[in-house]
Amino acid sequence: MAFQSWNTQHLARFNSADSSEFLDFYEGARDAKILSEFDNPSRKTFAPSSFRCQRIQWFRLRGVQPDKPKTADSVLDFTAVVGTALHKMIQEILKESLKEDWIDVAQYIKDNVLNSDKYETEDSSDSLETLVSVSDPPVSFACDGIIRWKGEYILLEIKSSEFASWSELTDPKPQHVDQTKCYCAMLNLNRVFFVYIDRQYGGVKCYDVRYPADNTQKILTEMREIEELAEYRICPEPLPKGDSWCTESHCKYYKKCAEYGR
């Protein structure tokens, strides 16, 4: 007769009835907080972070609420919290070291962006990150920073990743390039420093990317096309089959997207 080993790993998470009850209380509160974020109304704006998928932008412009998961993804939420802390660490070091070459984003927009009256900015509580909202075209995003390096204004984009993914990087990830194309179009910039940090050991890589002079016009043209599709309720084509973004764990509109065919 074969015997199975008894898995006592779950018992190591607490050592009394009270500690078990308290652990359940914390995890319940954490999961409720995560799920409550899905109840917030969808903003009818373009989201550069997912700009490579026209269908996601279409859903957003039409005010469609994302799919609400049945259970909270605590791992994904924790990853985001750690990523935010790493962003702050890098921003603090650069702001202190660059001094006047760490650029005030709001002032930069007023001085360098056409139709800056259509822009609204809001600094984060620590004044390291700037939330940027544009009324036309409707776009909202968070800017990690703008720096002046050797006399040139450059967008700073910080990304954190697991060690395995980070160690294989030799160039910025394509979805991050698409994201910053939008940022640069909105901020009258054509150069980005991508800073990638490993969440496990803190290793850092930096990639320098320049966009062509017609980047702004291309991005604005695509946005106008998606706006028109949203106005006439014509759903754009999804990403190609097999695309790594088209998974339920990645896309907040995965189930709704399926209703329109993939």
Q: What is the mean pLDDT of each run of 10 residues along the chain (262 residues)?
A: 51 84 91 81 87 94 87 83 93 97 97 95 89 96 97 97 94 94 97 96 97 96 96 92 83 89 75
- Record the pTM: 0.87
Q: Judge contact between 154 and 146, C-beta under 8 A.
A: yes
- Cα–Cα dist 262/247, whole Å: 12
Q: What is the pLDDT of residue 9?
A: 54
Architecture field, domain 48-236+250-258: Alpha-Beta Complex (3.90)
CA angle 210, 175, 119 (to 5 degrees): 70
Location of structure tokens 């039409």: 62
- Per-residue model confidence (pLDDT) at position 16: 86
What pLDDT does residue 41 have? 67
CB 139 within 8 A of CB 227: no
Q: What values do phi and psi take at 261, rounded to 5?
A: 90, 140
Between CA 84 and CA 196, with CA 44 as vertex, the angle to 5 degrees is: 25
* C-alpha span between 47 and 183 (Å, rounded): 10
Question: How far is 130 from 167, CA to CA, in rounded Å?
Answer: 29
Q: Return d(Cα 260, Cα 84) in angstroms, integer.
A: 34
State the Cα–Cα distance between residues 84 and 86, nearest whole angstrom: 5
Identify whether the C-beta of residue 131 lies closer than 8 Å to the C-beta of residue 168. no
CB 86 within 8 A of CB 199: yes
* Domain boundaries along the sequence of the chain: 48-236+250-258
